[in-house]
Amino acid sequence: MSGIKARATRASRTPAPPLPLFESLDRTHRQVMEMLGQLTKLVEQLDATGIDEPARQLATEIYQFFDDTARAHHVAEEELVFPGLLASDDAELVQHVQRLQQDHGWLEEDWLELGSHVRAVGEGQGWYDIDVLRSAVPVFTELYREHIALEETIVYPASRRRQA
């Protein structure tokens, strides 16, 4: 047996509260920006070396993030942030929120095309199309950047004010 002794049973305790909504959403935005950079890095790496183990690992990480975390983030916004703002008397604010909803659809559409190629790289499948990645990644990146900027400068502050 190793030198590790069995740990005494710990007393149960109440779980820690979840992060407040906007802290969680802001954290995910930072992660999105990081993953967009990693996505660009992946395309550069595939151009230079093709599929190798580092590319596979990076593609798997990117795919899991956008397929799970980013999608869940959009659902949270649609359910927790947007409804109150859509009921606002501020027509300009409502228009911004509607644009963000449209962006969610476009981001999903873009990811469906892009994600299949990223997943293929992660699985070591050679059928991915580097030209699709080269053309789609900048479009996906720019849309996400504009989307996050609108949320963080106008929509989230308005939602925070309404919830205060």
Instruction: Report the candidate in 147, 111, 125, 127 with the shortest Cα–Cα distance to residue 39.
Output: 111
What does the pLDDT read at residue 4?
Answer: 52
pLDDT digit string, tens, across residues 28-44? 999 999 999 999 999 99
Residue 18 has pLDDT above 60, yes or no: no
pLDDT digit string, tens, across residues 101-123? 999 999 999 999 999 999 999 99
Residue 157 has pLDDT above 80, yes or no: yes
pLDDT class for 5, splitting at 50, 70, 90? low
88, with CB counted inside 10 A (0-12, 13-18, 19+), is middle
**pTM (2 d.p.):** 0.86
Q: Is the dihedral of CA 65, 71, 72, 77 positive or negative?
A: positive
Domain 21-163 coded CATH 1.20.120.520: yes
Q: Per-domain residue ranges for the chain?
A: 21-163
Residue 2 has pLDDT above 90, yes or no: no
